[in-house]
Amino acid sequence: MAIEIRETFQVSSPIDRVWSFMKSPENLAGCMPGASLARIIDDRSFVGTVKLKVGAITASYDGTMTFIKLDDSARELTLLAEAKEKGGGTVSGTISANLLSLPDGSTEVRCESSTDLTGRIVQVGRGMIEGVSKQVIQKFVANVKSSLETVPAGASAGEGAEASAGAAAPAPGAVESGPDARPVIAKEESINVLAVVWNVIWGAICGFFRRLFGRA
């Protein structure tokens, strides 16, 4: 089952800071619901796990993600993901991101993902999987924005903007070390399945009436 998703969002942070954040495996895994980073193979490949729950089915995929494109000048990246589930299912696909600097100093991020799923999880149907996938992406976006837009404790909004030339804020769920360590926002793992189910049912109802009146 192939799933394609496109998402465009803005981050109130300069493009250099957003780019540095987006090309970090630790940050990507820290912002993605259900994802965990096991180890980094090299500067372009890393191993991790993604857990996805759709309805009564929970699938855990272990695999490798590789930057097949990492263009610092164009601010474009493409990730290739290949993973397997213990129950025999597989997931493979690509995730691409393109960053654009906006006149007000913020950054626009354009993301596209194309994923192919096999195994038990496809039994719940395309509508449910697409709904959950969209919620996962929305939560990822929220975590990225939270990490990059949160002003450090004790700093003013202006100071937070000036700090953009330095390191990006740690990804949600990460743990800072050192004498000045402070807690950071934990990423949200849960998915509102009831909302997804309602969207699927409502879509089916609307489709029925469109077909009904289309025949009239």
**Rounded CA separation 192/53 (Å):** 11
Instruction: Classify the C-alpha dihedral 201-206-209-211 as positive or negative.
Output: negative
**Rounded CA separation 127/133 (Å):** 10
- Report if pTM > 0.75: no
Q: Is the pLDDT at 57 greater than 80, yes or no? A: no
**Rounded CA separation 74/19 (Å):** 10
Q: Residue 168: which pLDDT band, with cuts at 50, 70 and 90?
A: very low
Task: Say what the pLDDT of residue 30 is.
Answer: 87
**Rounded CA separation 115/172 (Å):** 24
Tell me the per-residue pLDDT of 67-120, one tens digit each, with 9 for 90 and over: 999 999 999 999 999 999 887 888 888 999 999 999 999 999 999 988 888 887
What are the structural domains, with CATH classification, of the chain?
2-152+164-173+184-215 (3.30.530.20)
Per cent of the chain over pLDDT 90 is: 32
3-class SS at 70? strand
